[in-house]
Amino acid sequence: MSTYSRLLSDIVHLLDQFDPQNNSTDHFISEIAEKYQAQGEAEQTFMVEVLSGCLYYRPLLDVVVNEFYLRDGRSFLRSEGNLYVVICYLATFRLKELGLKHFTKIIHSQSANKMHEFLRFLFDGLNLSTWIKDEWCQIYDIAYVNQMLIDPLLRWQPDINNLIDYLAHILANTISTKKESQPVTVPKEFNITKPKPQSIPMPEEIPLLQVQRKVPECSD
């Protein structure tokens, strides 16, 4: 399991556990920050920032995820909804900070079919320019929605479309992986030698996310 796969799995599990009726958001996040303190600054910050972002911006994220299930995601399990909440948050609020390289790694750590369908839905230009923008403007200021959310998503659209196409090729089995031929085993004379220590794989680099301030909701 890759680092991103593990982190997203943990975040989704925590979102599943969170009960807004019985839990304070700030207290819940503080407990998680303490729990993951031993994992290192980058992983702990990633966990806390993504988890808190998903909780704080839940109404905005639910607009997209709920509509996804009504339209393109009808064949997917409702119980996995928080996975799409996390991906929606990362794409909407953290894509510039993560960069395309790390965002692509995150996407590849998940099911190609799920990510293909959801990204295609989220980054659809017509969806972004019409009902998504309209619904988000019911929650946040129009200028903020246009300048900080919709416009950046549209600017990322060409790059994400390439990623979507790549996922489509994977699903169509058009990307072949070259398998190197295995060398023929040649018997060697028995020799007692000190075994070489196994190399430890380098941990996957996780970008250190910045603490994000909560945007005030539209007061109307």
Q: CA 120, 123, 126: angle at the middle one, nearest 5?
A: 105
Structure tokens at 149: 């959310």
Structure tokens at 25: 């958001």
Q: Is residue 95 part of a domain?
A: yes
Q: Is residue 205 part of a domain?
A: no
Q: Is residue 39 part of a domain?
A: yes
Q: Which residues span the domain enclosing 147?
A: 3-171
Instruction: Quote the pTM value.
Output: 0.82
Structure tokens at 55: 């909780």
Q: Is residue 167 part of a domain?
A: yes
Q: Comparing C-alpha atoms, which of 28, 38, 46 is closest to residue 109? A: 46
Query: pLDDT tens, 100-152?
Result: 999 999 999 999 999 999 999 999 999 999 999 999 999 999 999 999 999 99
- HSE at residue 208, side-chain half, CA atoms within 13 A, is 3
Query: pLDDT tens, 146-203?
Result: 999 999 999 999 999 999 999 999 999 855 544 444 554 444 443 434 444 343 333 4
Q: Is residue 146 part of a domain?
A: yes
Q: Is residue 83 part of a domain?
A: yes
Domains identified in the chain, total number? 1
Q: Is residue 143 part of a domain?
A: yes
Q: Is residue 185 part of a domain?
A: no
Single-letter amino acid code for the residue at 20? P
Query: pLDDT tens, 201-210?
Result: 334 566 667 7
Phi-psi domain of 26 (left: phi exceeds 0; alpha: psi -120 through 50; beta: other): alpha
